[in-house]
Amino acid sequence: MRRAALTAPLALFLVCVALAAAGNGPLEIVLFDAPKGAWLGALREDAPLVVLEEREGWRRVRLEGWIMAPAAVPSGKGLPESSGPAAATPPEAGMVVSRERPADPGQAAATPVAPRLADVQGVLAPPLGAGGSAGAGVLVLLVKENSGLDSEHRKLGAECRARLDQKDRDLLALRAEADRALNSSDNFREASGRSDQARTRLATGQRERRDLIQECRARAQAVFEEAVAGRAISDASGRFEFQPVVPGRYRVVAFETTEDVPRSWSFSFLVEGNAPRALDPTADRSPVPADWGLR
């Protein structure tokens, strides 16, 4: 996972949101440049942050930390005197570095050459025929597929489905109890009291069912976080983009909780070569929903 760089000592103004890793991993703070803006990186939970402002579920923070000092520029080869020393820039992950001896001994020994990698684009569209709006301002995860990820996701889905089915059976019994309560006695006050108690238990059960769905969706997202290869935020039209993406098999998943009915998106696809990849919401849709369709 890419980590946010810390300057020395540094004061940055960032917007952050916390995401829990699966299992016993540490809580991470994901940094954005603005509410629902671009993803910048991630920090440990214990990173030194100062909250400057909080509104609409977002916090603007100041971050302080240290990085290594920049490398010195050789005499006569630096920037103009009005500029400070230049930092040595290491090649980025995935870049090809030339090892050929330069014609001029004064030139750099390694020349970074960026490979041509693929761009992946898609949209969090509403279900076909269901109407509604696209998923706007939603965190989208690019995940590298593997057999372990699928196995863990299926196992967790079976567990959540079993718990939800049991909760539905409990609610069915509570509804029947509430329907019988008013006729349980000839004494109206006594029957009314029993009805109120039964309906309170029913309301509690319904709230527990909603909490169970939220818990299962959070655990599903945490499973995908373990294999995350990139993050993006969908725009107002639900569109998102990842670049550059190396060849391989991937899944794009997103979870939305702001609507009355929770939604999720899941695309499974293969990236071959460097051709742009536009995700088809029908052909590339994963057979198993990211949240297993729990409603």
Residue 92 lies in a domain: no
Do the Cβ atoms of 197 and 163 come closer than 8 Å?
Answer: no
Q: Are residues 36 and 155 in the same domain?
A: no
Q: Are residues 176 and 196 in the same domain?
A: yes
Which strand ranges, in their side-by-side order, compose the sheet holding 139-144?
228-233, 139-144, 248-256, 263-271
Q: Which of 9-18, 43-52, 91-100, 117-126 has the lowest mean pLDDT?
A: 91-100
Residue 221 lies in a domain: no
Cα 204 to Cα 124: distance, rounded to the nearest angstrom:
33
Residue 289 lies in a domain: no
Residue 192 lies in a domain: yes
Q: Are residues 139 and 153 in the same domain?
A: no
In the chain, the number of structural domains is: 3
Residue reference for tokens 């570095």: 97
Q: Are residues 166 and 270 in the same domain?
A: no
**pLDDT beyond 90 at 152:** yes
Q: Are residues 155 and 191 in the same domain?
A: yes
Cα 30 to Cα 21: distance, rounded to the nearest angstrom:
11
Cα 232 to Cα 37: distance, rounded to the nearest angstrom:
9
Residue 27 lies in a domain: yes
Q: Which amino acid is at 182?
A: L
Phi/psi at 10 (nearest 5 deg)?
-125, 145
Q: Are residues 232 and 140 in the same domain?
A: yes
DSSP letter string, 74-137 = PTTSSS-TTS-PPPP-PPPTT-EEE-SPPSSTTS-S-EEE----EEEEEE-PPPTTT------S
Q: Nearest Cα to 40, choosing from 9, 74, 6?
A: 6
- Regarding predicted confidence, which is higher, 58 or 135? 135
**pLDDT tens-digit profile of 216-248?**
999 999 999 989 999 999 999 999 999 889 999
* pLDDT for residue 114: 53
Cα 223 to Cα 208: distance, rounded to the nearest angstrom:
23
Tokens at 25, concatenated: 């991993």
Q: Are residues 138 and 239 in the same domain?
A: yes
Q: Are residues 20 and 37 in the same domain?
A: yes
Residue 109 lies in a domain: no
Q: Which of 7-21, 34-48, 241-255 has the lowest mean pLDDT?
A: 7-21
CATH number for the domain that contains residue 131? 2.60.40.10
* pLDDT for residue 259: 61
Cα 119 to Cα 271: distance, rounded to the nearest angstrom:
9
Q: Are residues 132 and 235 in the same domain?
A: yes
Residue 155 lies in a domain: yes
Q: Are residues 176 and 191 in the same domain?
A: yes
Residue-number span of the structural domain to which 23 is assigned: 12-63
**pLDDT tens-digit profile of 69-125?**
655 444 433 333 333 333 333 333 333 333 333 444 444 445 555 556 889 999 998
Residue 71 lies in a domain: no
Burial 103-131 (b: 16+ CB within 10 A, else e): eeeeeeeeeeeeeeebebebbbbeeeeee
**pLDDT beyond 50 at 159:** yes
Q: Are residues 122 and 164 in the same domain?
A: no
Q: Which amino acid is at 170?
A: D
Q: Are residues 154 and 141 in the same domain?
A: no
Whether this model's pTM surpasses 0.75:
no
Cα 255 to Cα 17: distance, rounded to the nearest angstrom:
15
